[in-house]
Structure 1
Amino acid sequence: MQSEKFDINEVKRRMHGASQALQHELGGLRTGRASASMLEPVQVDAYGTHMPLNQVATVSVPEPRLLSVQVWDKSMVKAVEKAIVDSNLGLSPATEGQVLRLRIPELNQDRRKELVKVAHKYAEAARVAVRHVRRDGLDIIKKLEKAHEISEDDQKRLDHEVQKATDATISEIDQLLANKEKEILTV
């Protein structure tokens, strides 16, 4: 039987991955300000297949409350418009030739609170993912110690390193959440 190897860098990488995933998810949450990342989840029916919006158009933010979508192919304008309307983002495009303009409406207080709750759910999911990585790392360390491949002192040291990485990542997640919450609640 081949013994498992423990690599603290792998644990840190996986924890950082959870943090990055959270950052990506939070980027998709709509705040009162326009952000090109808001349209990342939009899929367009183009050329007989579903394509991300950024593969058929350029998204820019000319004003804080306005998104501009420059469609590259004139024949795709209607498909892009339909995809944006169907995306449940609550945005309605105004078409001017090959350019779609999307006004970002003000968020009311109830919607802001709802978005904060969603952000908290995303953050909790990221924390859970980090804890799973920690558990996996600690399990490997425990197995190595039981198999007498590492000493008890090494086990304690590695346990401490894993916990330190966990604490740092959880702290990073909390900071991301706090920043997003502040952004959402800013009127």
Structure 2
Amino acid sequence: MDQDEILLDTEDRMEKAAAVFKNALTGLRTGRATPGLVDSIRVNYYGSPTPLKQMAVISCPEPQQIVIKPFDASSLSEIVKAIQSSDAGLAPNSDGRLIRLNVPPLSTERRREFVTRVGKLAEDARVAIRNIRRDGNKHAETAEKEKTMTEDLCKATKEQVQELTKKYEGLVNDLASSKEKEVMND
């Protein structure tokens, strides 16, 4: 791999790690109803785990309520089971056609739990970014050993990989702190 390939691959993978973290944050409750709270819940649909957003229309007609209308009415009971067994902490009310989820306001203790969870997710994302940095540095060292990259170019590549690491760790930290503030202030 040459320098451009290493940097491109490293940046692409770091971008994906940050996107996974950002997506995980949308599933965290803040006291307001959003489809992101339930759309990634997996439902056992004909023997395979299927994301809820692929099986139903999810809407929020009120700030404290989520309404789920399945495309297939026969999957209603499986959706209810999946919501009950998830860690969303919501109690589904089904009327035979659709499911209503009332999002209760968060207690201070529950908010602190969510802040702790945000911190853990952020640390997981930072670890993933550091692992990607290690891989990028390893590719540069391998290219130097194979004489396809000079020692100076290898050092410059490692410095650029470190700059990418700082950039994406900063992004993860910013996302985490804004989500923590959102959870504590709602």
Aligned equivalent of 1:153 = 152
CA contact (8 A) 2:39 2:58 kept: no
Percent identity, aligned pairs only, is 35
Equivalent residue pairs, number: 184
Residues 171-182 of structure 1 aligned to structure 2 (within 5 Å): 171-182=170-181
- State the distance in 1 between where 2:29 and 2:44 align: 23
CA contact (8 A) 1:69 1:99 kept: yes
Aligned equivalent of 1:144 = 143
Do residues 25 (structure 1) and 40 (structure 2) align?
no
Aligned equivalent of 2:45 = 46
**By how many angstroms is 1:42 displaced?**
2.2
TM-score (norm 1): 0.89
SS in 2 for 1:21: helix
**By how many angstroms is 1:13 displaced?**
0.4
List per-residue Cα deviations over 1:62-113 (Å, max 9, x = no partner): 2222111112233332332232222232211222341211110111111111
Please report the RMSD computed on the Cα atoms of aligned residues, expressed in angstroms.
1.8
The letter of the residue matching 2:31 is: G
| Deviant stretches of 4+, over 3 Å | 45-50
- State the distance in 2 between where 1:97 and 1:80 align: 12
- State the distance in 1 between where 2:10 and 2:156 align: 15
Aligned equivalent of 2:65 = 66
The letter of the residue matching 1:95 is: S
Do residues 131 (structure 1) and 130 (structure 2) align?
yes
Aligned equivalent of 2:102 = 103
Moved more, 45-54 or 146-155: 45-54
Moved more, 72-81 or 163-172: 72-81
CA contact (8 A) 2:76 2:97 kept: yes
SS in 1 for 2:66: strand
